[in-house]
Amino acid sequence: MPQFVAFSPTVEIWGGSLLGMVEGLVQGGVPRDEILAFLAQGGILDPDPEGWYPQQGLLDTLRSAGLRFGAEVLRAAGRAIPVHSRFPPEVDCLERALTTLDLAYQVNHRGGRIGHYVARRLGSRRMELFCDNPYGCDLDLGILDTLLARHQKPGEAFRVHHAPGTSCRKEGHRACVYQVAW
């Protein structure tokens, strides 16, 4: 399944998360009036932080912004997600951030099948993250940027890359698998 196509037409996203992605797009260089025009084309008018909105409308907005302004704006939108979305408060380390990412994803969406984030430990200071969602590779890499920066200790370096032999949603596949090492 390609990026930016909802798994279910009934899925909705929480307004706080949606508006967080809007802020991320703005920080990435997309003019706010263009984002609002993209949202309106997707049926989202005057979003409220406590409202619920069609996921496909947001996905259409992200696709349009990425096509017009490049992949980096999608990564910027992803960086804003952990800052603006509902996320478990007890997250105190990178491993816990990765293992609770699916919970955060689930509470910011409702109304149908949305996919998952599945984290598994590969060894000491190494994890793999299976990302099966319609938001796409660049957005998920932005989420990882923020989670890694939030939990980085002085002198610590993180590495993130697609797991060898795996596919990518940019190529029309359903999921991306990343390996994270620190």
Which structure tokens are listed for 26? 């703005």
First-last CA distance in the chain: 31
The whole-angstrom separation of Cα 141 and Cα 131 is 10
| pTM for this model (two decimals) | 0.93
Q: What are the residue boundaries of the structural domains of the chain, listed by start?
A: 12-84, 94-181
Identity (one letter) of the amino acid at 17? S
Report pLDDT digits (tens) over 27-61: 999 999 999 999 999 999 999 999 999 999 999 99
- In this structure, are residues 132 and 115 in contact, taking their beta carbons and an 8 Å threshold? yes
SS3 content of the chain, % helix, strand, coil (to 5): 45, 20, 35
Residue given tokens 């909105």 in the structure block: 53
Q: Which fold has domain 94-181?
A: H-NOX domain (3.90.1520)
- Are 110 and 8 a contacting pair, CB within 8 Å? no
| 170: DSSP letter | G
- Residue 74's pLDDT is 97
Amino acid at the residue 60 = D
- pLDDT of residue 70 exceeding 80: yes
